[in-house]
Amino acid sequence: MKKVLITGAAGFLGSHLCDRFIKENYHVIGMDNFITGDKKNLQHLENNPNFEFIEHDVTEFVSIEGGLDYILHFASPASPIDYLKIPIQTLKVGSLGTHNLLGLAKAKKARILIASTSEVYGDPLVHPQTEDYYGNVNTIGPRGVYDEAKRFQESITMAYHRFHGLETRIVRIFNTYGPRMRLNDGRVIPAFMGQALRGEDLTIFGNGMQTRSFCYVNDQVEGIYNLLLSDYSYPVNIGNPHEITIKDFAEEIIKLTGTEQRVIYKDLPVDDPLQRQPDISLAKKVLNWEPKVGREEGMKKTFEYFKSLSKEELYKSEHKDFNNHIRR
């Protein structure tokens, strides 16, 4: 039985990756310090003999007993509401944490996949974004702590690949959604759905003409899995290229939820990207991958998940200063 370490295992994507690798008959070691992850996301795996969990901060030395075949590094705050609150931890997990895990991969002769992001492109001047675009990032802006942590993460990963011959993979993740997202993470899908369920007006920042492209979690996990097992060492975009304006998306949410909320507008935050759309030509070519779940189907499943939350969870997730945070 092959063994895989998944950091950030209690997070949205990390927990779904644990499920996928267990389904593929791997022994999964989950690791998280719960700074943004949720123990609830892993409760269903507690008695699974192929799953073990280590509570640990990867910015500290990481030690795993025995052999290890793969490492997936998904430990990081991944939404503005988080990395604006904990900027130093965000930078450390992308730098020190990545360094520790690359060292572990080298010691174990394991293949490592690191989770990068579409945020490495910043507010892009190229549309859609291809992997050979270097980006337009404000290094000292409020989002810089996340963007630059991920850009450094890519650089040190490629340095280990070239200097040590380490087997590395880099996935650039575009907006992903589905069950287990946090209502309070500041991203547009849980924000809109949470506001609709609480009977609040839907908040749009700017004029609503900025675009996003949303990938359902099952498709994202499939792309990541294919990339890990591929022979391709350079960054690959994984996301859904179907683009929509935030204004049109708000109307879709109102229709889906059957609510009659108004849409209200607030100032656009600093460095908020005006366009976000992946070019997935490379993923199609080297991974034989493209998304299969349409937005209508995926949104229905996601809304059913949010509807299943208790009132305590629904209102606990509400932040008094929520509208002052950047939303991806």
pLDDT tens for each residue of 228-240 = 999 999 999 999 9
69 close to 111: Cβ distance less than 8 angstroms: yes
Q: Is the model's pLDDT at 272 over the cut of 80?
A: no
Whether residue 124 lies inside any domain: the answer is yes
Q: What pLDDT sits at residue 322?
A: 33
Task: Report the largest interatomic distance among the alpha carbons of the chain, rounded to a whole angstrom.
Answer: 58
CB environment 251-277: b (16+ within 10 A), e (fewer)? eebbebbebebebeeeebbebbbebbb
Q: What is the CATH number of the domain that holds 226?
A: 3.40.50.720
In terms of domains, do 165 and 207 share one? no
| pLDDT confidence bin for 317, thresholds 50/70/90 | low
Provide the pLDDT for residue 104.
98
Residue 295 pLDDT more than 70? yes
Q: How far apart are CA 102 and CA 5, in angstroms?
A: 12
Model pLDDT, residue 81: 86
* Overall average pLDDT of the 55-59 stretch: 98
Are residues 87 and 76 part of one domain?
Answer: yes
**Do 55 and 163 sit in the same domain of this protein?**
yes
Q: Does 254 fall in a domain? A: yes
Indicate whether 287 belongs to any domain: no
* Nearest Cα residue to 12 out of 182, 184, 242: 182
Tell me which range, 25-34, 253-262, 301-310, is most confidently predicted by mean pLDDT. 25-34
Same domain, 139 and 201: no
Instruction: Assess whether pLDDT exceeds 60 at residue 205.
Output: yes
Last-in-domain residue among 238, 253, 286: 238
In a domain, 88, yes or no: yes
Task: Average the pLDDT over each of 13-22, 108-117, 164-173, 181-190 and give the range with the smallest value.
Answer: 181-190
Residues 193 and 310 in one domain: yes
266 and 304 housed in the same domain: yes
Q: How many other C-beta atoms lie within 10 A of the C-beta of residue 151?
A: 21
Active site residues: 146
Question: pTM of whole model > 0.75?
Answer: yes
Digit-coded pLDDT (tens) for 77-129: 988 889 889 999 999 999 999 999 999 999 999 999 999 999 999 989 999 99
Q: For the chain, how many structural domains are there in total?
A: 2
Separation CA 184–CA 173 (nearest Å): 20
Rounded mean pLDDT, 300-320: 79
Which one has a higher pLDDT value, 191 or 163?
Answer: 163
Domain co-membership, 267 together with 154: no
For the cut 60, the answer to whether the pLDDT of residue 303 exceeds it is yes
The residue-averaged pLDDT of 249-255 equals 91
In a domain, 17, yes or no: yes
Instruction: Give the model's confidence band at 270: pLDDT under 50 very low, under 70 low, under 90 confident, else very high.
Output: confident
Mean pLDDT, rounded, of the chain: 92
Q: Note whether residue 190 is domain-resident.
A: yes
The model's confidence at residue 271, banded by pLDDT at 50, 70 and 90, is low
Domain that holds residue 142: 3-176+215-238
Q: Can you give the pLDDT at residue 320?
A: 38
What are the distances in angstroms from CA 285 to CA 226, 237, 263, 279, 280? 12, 12, 40, 12, 9
- The answer to whether residue 180 scores a pLDDT higher than 90 is yes
Whether 13 is covered by a domain: the verdict is: yes
Q: Is residue 280 part of a domain?
A: no
Are 67 and 207 members of one domain?
no
CB 143 within 8 A of CB 150: no
Q: Are residues 118 and 199 in the same domain?
A: no
Query: What is the rounded CA–CA span in Å between residue 212 and residue 276?
Result: 5
pLDDT, residue 269, reads 74
Query: Quick one: 140 and 230 in the same domain?
Result: yes
User: Which residue, 236, 243, 242, is CA-closest to 283?
Assistant: 236
CATH code, domain with 314: 3.90.25.10
With the C-alpha atoms ordered 109, 168, 225, 144, is the resulting torsion angle positive or negative?
positive
Q: Are both 132 and 22 inside the same structural domain?
A: yes
* 209 and 219 both lie in a single domain: no
